Structure 1
Amino acid sequence: MINRLTVFGGTGDLTARFLLPALAALRAAGHLGDRMRLTGASREDWDTERYREWAAEQLGRHAGHCPGDAREAVAASARYLRADVTDPGDVAAAVAGDGPVAVYLALPPALFPAVITALHEADLPAGSRIVLEKPFGEDLSGARELNRLLAGLVPEQAVFRVDHFLAMTTVQNVLGSRLANRVLEPIWNSTHIAEVDIVWEETLALEGRAGYYDHVGALKDMIQNHLLQLLCLVATEPPITLGERDLRDRKVDVLRSVRSLTEHDVVRRTRRARYLPGRVAGRDIPAYADEDGVDPRRRTETFAEVELELDSWRWAGTRFRLRSGKALGADRKEVAVRFRSVPHLPFGHSEEALPNVLRFQLEPEGLTLDLTGIGAHADELAPLSLSARMEPADLPAYGRLLLDVLTGDPALSIRGDEAEEAWRVVEPVLSAWERDLVPLEEYPAGSDGPPARGNAAVPPLTE
């Protein structure tokens, strides 16, 4: 197990909200000992004492559920280096030390090539690992170039392209529910499933993230970055094991089977929009174009929807719809699997029969099955819903991912060829949107998003 972690971007939001709490959770659970050392590297003119004070403050704010001694141990293990993350000398100083080091790039993706290039001159100890937050690159050619740079630095097994979605309890239960239950796996195909909605809609607006978000948008930030990963788990063939090779091979197969979108497909099967002024959860939200740090000329979308088809034996004829939006009226974060209707209903009011929908709810984590049962009269049908809440995980998602990095298990990280295939899927969309072949629609903040068109999505769960 690696006992040294260097975080470039060590004073950033990711470190404060997720990495420090993850380390505290690992310490509290007994996964980290006194030998663990954290190095934060960033531009601030701080020293180690100031950094430890900041780390303790962030741990108190974001990891209050962890025991105090675990938080104190993490803060005490930290040291700080002021560094230009593109300067080979500064980078070498940040990773210097005895034994292998896990190098975490908690940075904007645009900086990845320069940092990796600098790491080439840092003489990394054998056994070191590199961790990159997604999105991995900014397009297909950028992903290929990053893979080339990484291949000359460390073996592929030592590269962790992390996606915290894959460590969420409900996401893991997409596989568990399918593969451990005979009642589901035989009907997990296009013969029985009509469509799948993979949705991440949130009331959260920009919240000061213009420096990152305005250069990325909903398509890159959520659909290419996270929702395609959920598609892989929903649509994968059963792997022989959940080991890194078997699972990641099957995920790549799913992405390879996604039918390439033509320009005509992009026009018919994708949507983009951004929010106008409105009111969300009692707060007035300005138009996205008026948010601080936004350049309206970029025409960045805050809502994106893409409809995909898979050319495979299992999924030919099933529609997969991936959708994400910001500043909406309600949070909806789920995978909704809609089954086809039964061929015949021996009831007097067959029009009342609703399709069965299996929902994997991501936040809060849970599982719901929408069925149809008998109503007040024997010949009447009525909706029936079965729900279950997931047992809380023993570690937060970032805790699970950091533990995998430190112990060397890449099963939940994204392999290089998988990263490239994900960009292949969305590249025709990016190209068509850049040429304005798909109009940039608008929707009021606090609404349900742009008006629906064409085939309606699976409706949200009714509380």
Structure 2
Amino acid sequence: MLVLGASGDLTGRLLLPGVGRLIAAGRAPRLELVGAGSDDWTAERWRQRLDDSFAGADEGSTAEGSTAEGSAELARVKDASTYHRLDVTAPGELGRLLKTLQAPVAVYFALPPAVSQAACEALTAGDLPEGTRLVMEKPFGSGAESAARLNATLAGLVPEDHIHRVDHFLGKSTVFNIVGLRFANRLLEPLWNAEHIAKVEIIFDEDLTLENRARYYDHAGAGRDMIQSHLLQIMAIIAMEAPASLDERDVRDGIAAVLRASSIDNHFARSTRRARYTAGAIGDRPVPDYTAEAGVDPANNTETLAEVEIRVKNWRWAGVPFLLRSGKALGRNRKEAVITYKPVPHLPDGFRGVDAPTRLHIGFGPENLTLDLDVNGPGNLFELDRVRLETELASDPLLPYGEVLDSVLAGDPLLSVRADTAEECWRIVEPAFAAWRAGTVPLEEYAAGSDGPADWRSSRPRSAGDKQRADG
């Protein structure tokens, strides 16, 4: 595995810890790890990064590889690993390094989209060892046009099934938990449609702030960082038709069909919202105003919280809003999909209490399942009371990046974003992003450590279709 951008934040914070767990679990035998970056790092500094990133990786080892064996393998990988200072965009430089590596090679582009594009354009098919796999980090391109151009460049280098567009939110646990829940339970699938479901919310709220990532995040924002990639993919899995098998083509065809049917209503002030955090506190930790964070340009008007309403225009989902929300510096971590069912058509007279909607919560970290139901309350059979049925879902001891890299090293593209769906995701959100740049949708504010702007908790954006139905 050749990691480009090896001296960057993403590599140290997410990618290498995932690699470490994978090695310690015995699921990456004979892996050779090579780093390359623009920083002039010594061998000692690279070794220190590996030591820091692999610390605790043995805790993820399983029966597939004992702790002792995992520790020995981690030590071997670290001792053999090398770092190379490299300008990946310079003609011939990356190709020369690749020719020194033993095939097959997985090339991980932990780089900004524009740099990844330039690096791929500097390569030729002849530069790549036989069986090379190209692993592209999100966001894939910076828009529909650049994504199409990058797809064309990659197609000239390796076959599509050797291209892995990584979305670490699509770990095996996440994908299979949703697919298994839906299609292995007769109780759920007949009710999984517009006749019974009022709305679907997919939420990724976190208490993390900018965390020294201004160089990337201040140009991406919550919309590009999370909604355009992670949340649209999860939405598609929740909304897809039953695949014939778990083969990558069947599953990814189902995802693509949902995304082709999806769009955002072009009255963007009603169908989307955005906001940015101001000074506040998360627990005992003071948080400065976003615009005061190091490296932030206030003129970018970058949103740190965003919500969009997607409509999937097909028979199953006609009229059901899919609300996708993601934000930083919020008061609590909340990573889940919430399916809210419609009210019963008639509640028998005589019941008292709150008749709240039935809700199904699918958690994405920790992986769990919660069902909210109304039942007769204790002590008074006429009083409705709320109960929650909860259970844990399957999870893998590998970190999210470990799960995705496991598929890359095995040559399985199931968890990879396919070329057409990468472009469809941009097609869905680009008009909204253009409206945000034009100021059509106001940039609201919320204090760090809060739940977001106060009015977001009492109202929802409403699309033009909703308004027409209400007026009618």
Q: Is 1:224 the equivalent of 2:219?
A: no
Alpha carbons of structure 1 residues 122 and 78: separation in structure 2 relative to 1, 3 Å: farther
Measured after TM superposition, the shift of residue 81 of structure 1 is 1.1
Q: Is 1:133 the equivalent of 2:137?
A: yes
Secondary structure of 1:119's counterpart equals: coil
Deviations along 1:371-395, one digit per CA (max 9) or x if unpaired, are 0000131111000110112243143
Measured after TM superposition, the shift of residue 124 of structure 1 is 0.5
Measured after TM superposition, the shift of residue 198 of structure 1 is 0.3
Extract unaligned runs of 5+ from structure 1: 458-463
Deviations along 1:164-220, one digit per CA (max 9) or x if unpaired, are 111062443111100111111111111111100100111111111111100100000
Measured after TM superposition, the shift of residue 252 of structure 1 is 0.6
Cα distance in 2 for residues equivalent to 1:426 and 1:241:
30
Cα distance in 2 for residues equivalent to 1:114 and 1:167:
28
Q: Is 1:316 the equivalent of 2:312?
A: no
- 1:95/1:122 contact within 8 Å kept: no
Residue in 2 aligned with 1:411?
414
Cα distance in 1 for residues equivalent to 2:103 and 2:300:
45
TM-score under structure 2 normalisation? 0.91
Cα distance in 2 for residues equivalent to 1:64 and 1:12:
25
Residue in 2 aligned with 1:85?
88
Cα distance in 1 for residues equivalent to 2:98 and 2:126:
8
Of 46, 62, 67, the residue aligned with 2:41 is 46
- 2:20/2:57 contact within 8 Å kept: no
- 2:207/2:331 contact within 8 Å kept: yes
Alpha carbons of structure 1 residues 168 and 362: separation in structure 2 relative to 1, 3 Å: farther
Q: Is 1:24 the equivalent of 2:20?
A: yes
TM-score under structure 1 normalisation? 0.93
Q: Is 1:103 the equivalent of 2:107?
A: yes
Measured after TM superposition, the shift of residue 288 of structure 1 is 0.5
Residue in 1 aligned with 2:468?
none
Cα RMSD, aligned residues only: 1.8
Of 150, 155, 164, the residue aligned with 1:151 is 155
Residue in 1 aligned with 2:5?
9
Of 37, 51, 56, the residue aligned with 1:56 is 51
Secondary structure of 1:335's counterpart equals: strand
Residue in 2 aligned with 1:461?
none
Alpha carbons of structure 1 residues 260 and 271: separation in structure 2 relative to 1, 3 Å: closer
Cα distance in 1 for residues equivalent to 2:459 and 2:181:
28
Q: What amino acid is the match of 1:244? A: E
Alpha carbons of structure 1 residues 65 and 250: separation in structure 2 relative to 1, 3 Å: closer
- 2:311/2:320 contact within 8 Å kept: yes
Measured after TM superposition, the shift of residue 28 of structure 1 is 2.7
Q: Is 1:305 the equivalent of 2:300?
A: no
Residue in 2 aligned with 1:445?
448
Extract unaligned runs of 5+ from structure 2: 62-66, 462-472
- 1:36/1:77 contact within 8 Å kept: no
Q: Is 1:73 the equivalent of 2:76?
A: yes
Alignment of 1:110-125 (within 5 A): 110-120=114-124, 123-125=127-129
Secondary structure of 2:414's counterpart equals: coil
Alignment of 1:200-349 (within 5 A): 200-262=204-266, 264=267, 266-349=268-351
Secondary structure of 1:166's counterpart equals: coil
- 2:222/2:326 contact within 8 Å kept: yes
Cα distance in 1 for residues equivalent to 2:244 and 2:310:
26
Cα distance in 1 for residues equivalent to 2:13 and 2:73:
16
- 1:92/1:121 contact within 8 Å kept: no
Cα distance in 2 for residues equivalent to 1:351 and 1:64:
48
- 1:21/1:63 contact within 8 Å kept: no
Alpha carbons of structure 1 residues 110 and 64: separation in structure 2 relative to 1, 3 Å: farther
- 1:23/1:74 contact within 8 Å kept: no
Measured after TM superposition, the shift of residue 72 of structure 1 is 1.3
Cα distance in 2 for residues equivalent to 1:169 and 1:366:
11
Q: What amino acid is the match of 1:83? A: L
Secondary structure of 2:369's counterpart equals: strand
Measured after TM superposition, the shift of residue 69 of structure 1 is 2.3
Cα distance in 1 for residues equivalent to 2:280 and 2:104:
51
Cα distance in 2 for residues equivalent to 1:290 and 1:415:
38
